[in-house]
Amino acid sequence: MLDIKSLHKKYPSGPVALRGVDLTVHEGDLIALIGPSGAGKSTLIRCINRLVEPSSGQILMQGTDICQLNSGALRKARKKIGMIFQEYALVERLSVMENVLSGRLGYVSFYASLTRKFPRADITEALRLLDRVGLSDYIDTRADQLSGGQRQRVGICRALLQQPDFLLIDEPTASLDPKTSREIMRLITELVQERNIAAIINIHEVTLAEMYSKRVVGLKDGQIVYDQAAGGLTNEALTLIYGEEDWEANKTDSDDALHEEVI
């Protein structure tokens, strides 16, 4: 489904963010992308849909090189690449329903988008998704009146309303408490499985990566240093990805914090 080949990214006035990344994603894959801050995780996510322009390399989505598309072809390709943002990227003054329906803007005419007159089928699917994520009672609520977890659910619905073949998810739990983080990760996992779509999740919480993904990819200094099925992250692997640390002590502290939060 997705083949990334020798992907490089160097920012004009900054460091090299990606150094020859090779990654293959298959249909139905749910990949957790982990690594220290500055490893290139967000850059990799954003290169895939060219929110960040790669310096060189190939990004083959079902055989089409995203890097070579002109603006019109790129807009068409992005319809099938859903994006869920860390900071939600909602329009605060709009309602939950209006924010979700914005996921269909690439499929309707300019007039329809301007007047917010969406096809009945789109509205029905938006209502179904909102019910699925537990937001049926918030359809007319403004986005700026929602909690962080609720905003993230709206972002998930908006991305899924695009009917994507692929999901890019950038730090979906970064601003959430431990309990809500688990709920969001569980929801993402269930929805991806239900729709049999592939997804890459950039995530800092190693425990959540192991619990909810099928595969864990570790990035360090712009290079992939680890790529294995979830459930196999050893202390040695964590040291390879993040550097020397007392991982057993950290694991105990993390479990204790989660236990206190649940209580």
Q: What is the pLDDT of residues 111-167, one digit of tens each?
A: 566 667 788 999 999 999 999 999 999 999 999 999 989 999 999 999 999 999 999
Q: Is 172 exposed, middle or buried (0-12, 13-18, 19+ CB in 10 A)?
A: buried
What is the chain's mean pLDDT, rounded? Answer: 88
Q: What pLDDT is attached to residue 176?
A: 85
In DSSP terms, 10 is beta-bridged to 16
User: How many Cβ atoms sit within 10 Å of the Cβ of residue 198?
Assistant: 20
Query: Does the structure show a pLDDT above 90 at 17?
Result: yes
Structure tokens at 47: 């290169």
- Domain boundary residue, one of 108, 128, 163: 163
Query: What band does 255 get if pLDDT is binned at 50, 70 and 90?
Result: low
User: What domain count does the chain have?
Assistant: 2
E-strand ranges in 159-233 read: 166-170, 198-202, 215-220, 223-229
Q: What phi-psi label fits residue 166: left (phi over 0), alpha (psi between -120 and 50 degrees) or beta?
A: beta
CA distance 208 to 173: 9
pTM: 0.86
**Are 261 and 179 found together in one domain?**
yes
User: In the chain, what percentage of residues exceed pLDDT 90?
Assistant: 60
- 239 contacts 247 by C-beta, under 8 angstroms: yes
20 three-class SS:
strand
User: In the chain, what percentage of residues exceed pLDDT 70?
Assistant: 92
**Are 147 and 217 found together in one domain?**
no
**Are 169 and 259 found together in one domain?**
yes
Q: What pLDDT is attached to residue 209?
A: 93
Domain range holding 126?
A: 87-163
CA distance 28 to 166: 9
In the block, which residue shows the tokens 């105990």?
A: 252
In DSSP terms, 95 is beta-bridged to 142
**Are 117 and 9 found together in one domain?**
no
**Are 62 and 182 found together in one domain?**
yes
CA distance 211 to 213: 6
* Residue 93 DSSP one-character state: T
**Are 106 and 153 found together in one domain?**
yes
Query: What band does 242 get if pLDDT is binned at 50, 70 and 90?
Result: very high
**Are 3 and 42 found together in one domain?**
yes
